Amino acid sequence: MFHFLLTEPIHEEGVKILQAEGNVRLAKGTDEETLIAELQDIDGVILRARGRMTRRVLESAPRLKVIGRHGVGVDNVDLEAATELGIQVVNTPHAVTEGVVEHTVGLMLDVAKRITYADRRLRAGDWEVRYRLSGRELRGRTLGVIGFGRIGRRVAQTCFYGFGMQILYTDVVSAPDLEQALGARRLALDDLLRTAEFITLHVPLLPETRHLLGEREFRLMRRDAILINCARGAVIDEKALYRALTEGWIAGAGIDVFEEEPTPADNPLLGLENLVATPHTATATEEALLNMALVAKDVVRVLKGEPPEYPVNTIR
């Protein structure tokens, strides 16, 4: 019988898979000391957004054999330490794609059409705001996609076929199939920033992508540019973003992720009328929550000595 730890609650279907193979426990907290105490008798853990599997945590987990990442990003797992210690890391690369794509497009529409702002003004009794507002249509606009992986490509397809947007992208790998199908053009980052009217981020958080967009990059953007971030908060320098929005370097932004999560209630970004923010909920759809919880299948496979379907690291 195996022992499983959930750092946060997951969909009941994932819990059932684990319960069929052993005991399931919900962690009392996600700080480092609590995780070390909780992991002493644990064979497999399912990790959501909170909590970090640091080297110290991993070295203090004598029975741990597998970490199931409830989602795609693994920036809260020390992959080098996990691999050295023989701990398999698995994730759910396909589970969140549609949820994030739709959320990205939703934020684009919200910021461009000023939907949230109009809602706030109307609730405050300001019907006359309808005469002061002027939104922007997406059709025919230029979209710049930073990171042309699974999610970035789907955003591009959705915006091309749905709104007739012109597609620019930057990535370390070219996408000749979508260049042909969508007329997409691959540009260097600086050129994309100078050109695109809408810019959306879909890169993982790595040392080389931390603060990928800072003051220099914001100053390169068009003054009418709208920025969307449903990737990771630290890909953007929030202080630079605040200046860009308050000083008019760019027109607006929609963000689902923050450098610090949960973000403090007094985060100055939250007071801006040209920013729409959501609390890391792009993946919070019924479908995505179910599919992410099914990482439990791979957790069980590993513990039974079977190869996982979606390995993140290689254990020899």
Give the mean pLDDT of the chain.
97
- What tens digit of pLDDT does each residue of 10-48 get? 999 999 999 999 999 999 999 999 999 999 999 999 999
Q: At what angle do helices 295-303 and 286-293 cross, to 10 degrees?
A: 0
DSSP 298-309: HHHHHHTTPPPS
Which phi and psi angles does 61 have, rounded to 5°? -115, 90
Nearest alpha-carbon partner for 172 in 142, 208, 199, 136 = 208
Distance CA(274)–CA(257), nearest Å, equals: 16
Query: Looking at the annotation, which residues are catalytic?
Result: 232, 261, 280
Mean pLDDT throughout 175-203? 98
pLDDT at 192 over 90: yes
- What tens digit of pLDDT does each residue of 219-233 get? 999 999 999 999 999
Domains observed in the chain:
2-95+286-303 (3.40.50.720), 97-277 (3.40.50.720)
pLDDT at 316 over 90: no
* Count of CA atoms in the C-beta half-sphere (13 A) of 305: 0
- What tens digit of pLDDT does each residue of 238-276 get? 999 999 999 999 999 999 999 999 999 999 999 999 999
Q: Which residues, in sequence order, are CB contacts of 196 under 8 Å at separation 6+? A: 142, 143, 144, 168, 221, 222, 225
Radius of gyration of the CA atoms of the chain, in A? 21
